[in-house]
Amino acid sequence: MTTYVVSYDLIKTKDYAKITAAIEAYGNWCKPLESFYVIETFQTSIQVRDNLQRFIDGDDRLLVIQCDLNNWASLNLSDKVNKWMGG
């Protein structure tokens, strides 16, 4: 499995329920910050982007970046998030 950071900005119509449900449908995820998830999937970053694009408007922004959970640091995140991320 590959780990990705998924972040988004909803511009005009702010239908957070659709995009968050689509991200959480990946099953193995955590949400350390608002509009910022970390997910694990067998999909490529392009496949994740294309899947999530269906749940946002044409002017919204979406970013999918492969990340390394062996090299990260945080401040004031919940114990649950830190545990999920392996800290």
Rg (CA), the chain: 13
β-pairing, 2-9 vs 36-41, is antiparallel
For the stretch 27-41, pLDDT in tens is 999 999 999 999 999
**Contact criterion met (CB below 8 Å) for 4 and 42:** no
Q: Is 22 exposed, middle or buried (0-12, 13-18, 19+ CB in 10 A)?
A: middle
For the stretch 37-81, pLDDT in tens is 999 999 999 999 999 999 999 999 999 999 999 999 999 999 999
Q: Rounded distance, CA 24 to CA 42, Å?
A: 15
pLDDT of residue 15: 86
Q: How confident is the model at residue 18 (pLDDT cuts 50, 70, 90)?
A: very high
